[in-house]
Structure 1
Amino acid sequence: MSTHAGNAVSQTPERPPESEAPLRYTRTAMALHWVIAVLIICNVALGLSAESFPDDWVRPVVDTHKSIGITVLGLVLLRILWRLSHKPPPLPRAFPKWEHIAAHVAHFLLYLLMIGLPLSGWLHDSAWKAAATHPMHLFGLIPWPRIGFVMHLDPALKETLHDRFGALHTWLGYALYALLAMHVGGALKHQWIDRKSVISRMVP
C-alpha cells in the first residue's frame, strides 16, 4: 500500500513556482508613456528657461512650448482611450494594500494634471490680448485655434482671466513636477529597495 502511495505521490505534478517577472504593458502603451514623458521633460525645460534666451528667441521658444503642450494633451487623451480598452498589468501581489491604493490615486492625479496643465495653458494663451494678431501654429506648421469664447470676452475681463489662467498653469506645473518626482521615486524604491521591479512592466 505504501508502494502505491509512493507512486501516487511521484505521479502528482509539482505546482510551478509563481513567476517573479511582472506582466508588461502593451507596446502601444509603452510608446505613449515614454513619448509623453520625454515631451513633458522638454516642456519643463523650455518653460523654466524661456526668459533666459535672447529676445528674438523667446517667441519661437514659447510657441514650441505651446505646441508640445497641445501634443501632450492629445497623446494623453489617446493614452486614456487605450488604457480603457486594454487592461493594465496588476502590481505585484507582494505590495501592501496601501501601496496599491496610492499607485491608483497617483495615476489618477497624473492623468488629471496632464490634461489640466495644457488646458490651462491653452486658456491662458486664448485670453492673451494679442492672440487675434498672432495666430498659433503647431510647430510652425499646422494652424491651431484658440478657444473662441475666451477670445471674444470683454478685454478687461480677458486680461484678468489671462493672469488667473497663467497663475493656474504655473501652480499645476509645480504640482505635476512634484507628482512626477514621487512617481519616479516610488518606481526606484520598488526597483532597488523592495526588489520588486515595476519599471520592467513599462519597457520592452
Structure 2
Amino acid sequence: MNTHANSLTDSTAAPSARYTRTAVVLHWLIALLIIGNVVLGLTAESWPDDWVRPVVDTHKSIGITVLGLALLRILWRVSHKPPPLPREFPSWEKIAAHFAHFLLYLLMIALPLSGWLHDSAWKGAATHPMHLFNLVPWPRIGFVTSLDPALKETLHSRFGTLHTWLGYALYALLAMHIGGALKHQWIDRQSVLKRMMP
C-alpha cells in the first residue's frame, strides 16, 4: 500500500514529458504558416501578374497571424513550464537549445514586424488598404505612414532589406532546429520530437 502511494506521489510530482496540448497546437500551426509564407515570399514574383497582388496580400496576412500566434505562444510558455530535456543531454547542448528557442521567438516577432513596417512605408499604402485574408481591415503603422514621402521611400527600402535578412536568419535557424531534432531522433536515439507530438 505504501509502495503504491509512493509511486502515485512520484508520478504526480514528476514533470510532464510532453508539452501541453495548447503548446503543441500553437507550435505546429505556426510552423505550417511559416513554411507556407516562406513559399509565398520566395515565389511571389514568379506568379502571373494578376496573382502577384493577392499572393503578396496573403503573405502579409499570414505574417500578421504568425505575429499574433507567436505572442500567444510566448505567453503560454511563460505560464506553463515546458518539459525538461533528457538528462543525458550535455549542459552545452541544453544551453544551445534554449538559446536557439529564444532566437526563434525573437525572429517570429521581428520578421512580421519588419514586414509590417516595410508595408507601412510603401508609397502605395494609402491607395491599397490592407485586409487580413481579404476579410478584416488591418491598419498600417500610423507614425510611419505620416512621415515625409522621401523618408518613407528610404525606410521602405531599408525595412525591406531588414525583412529579407531576417528571413534568411529564420531559414538557417529552422534548418538547425529541424536538423537537431532529427539527429536526436535517429542518431542519438533520444527523441525530443515526442515532446511536441500530438
TM category, shorter = over 0.9
Deviation at 1:40, TM superposition (A): 0.1
Structure 1 residue ranges without an equivalent (≥5): 1-12, 17-21
For residue 113 of structure 1, what is the aligned residue in structure 2?
107
1:16-45 Cα shifts (integer Å, max 9, x gaps): 9xxxxx800000000000000000000000
In structure 2, what is the Cα distance between the partners aligned to 1:188 and 1:98? 18
* 2:82 aligned to which of 84, 88, 93: 88
The root-mean-square deviation of aligned C-alpha atoms, in Å, is 1.6
Q: What percentage of residue pairs aligned between the two structures are identical?
A: 83
* 2:41 aligned to which of 43, 47, 67: 47
Which secondary structure does the structure 2 equivalent of 1:167 belong to? helix
Give the structure-1-normalised TM-score: 0.90
Deviation at 1:47, TM superposition (A): 0.2
1:196 maps onto 2:190 in alignment: yes
Matches within 5 A, 1:1-204: 23-204=17-198
1:125-151 Cα shifts (integer Å, max 9, x gaps): 000001011000000000000000000
Deviation at 1:174, TM superposition (A): 0.2
Structure 1 outlier segments of 4+, above 3 Å: none
In structure 2, what is the Cα distance between the partners aligned to 1:117 and 1:89? 27
1:168-190 Cα shifts (integer Å, max 9, x gaps): 00000000000000000000000
In structure 2, what is the Cα distance between the partners aligned to 1:133 and 1:49? 25
In structure 2, what is the Cα distance between the partners aligned to 1:190 and 1:37? 19
In structure 2, what is the Cα distance between the partners aligned to 1:96 and 1:44? 33
Deviation at 1:67, TM superposition (A): 0.1
In structure 2, what is the Cα distance between the partners aligned to 1:189 and 1:77? 29
Q: Number of paired residues? A: 188
Letter in 2 for 1:65: H
Letter in 2 for 1:76: A
For residue 9 of structure 1, what is the aligned residue in structure 2?
none
Which secondary structure does the structure 2 equivalent of 1:149 belong to? helix
Structure 2 residue ranges without an equivalent (≥5): 8-15
Which secondary structure does the structure 2 equivalent of 1:133 belong to? coil
In structure 2, what is the Cα distance between the partners aligned to 1:109 and 1:86? 19
Letter in 2 for 1:41: I
1:43-66 Cα shifts (integer Å, max 9, x gaps): 000000000000010000000000
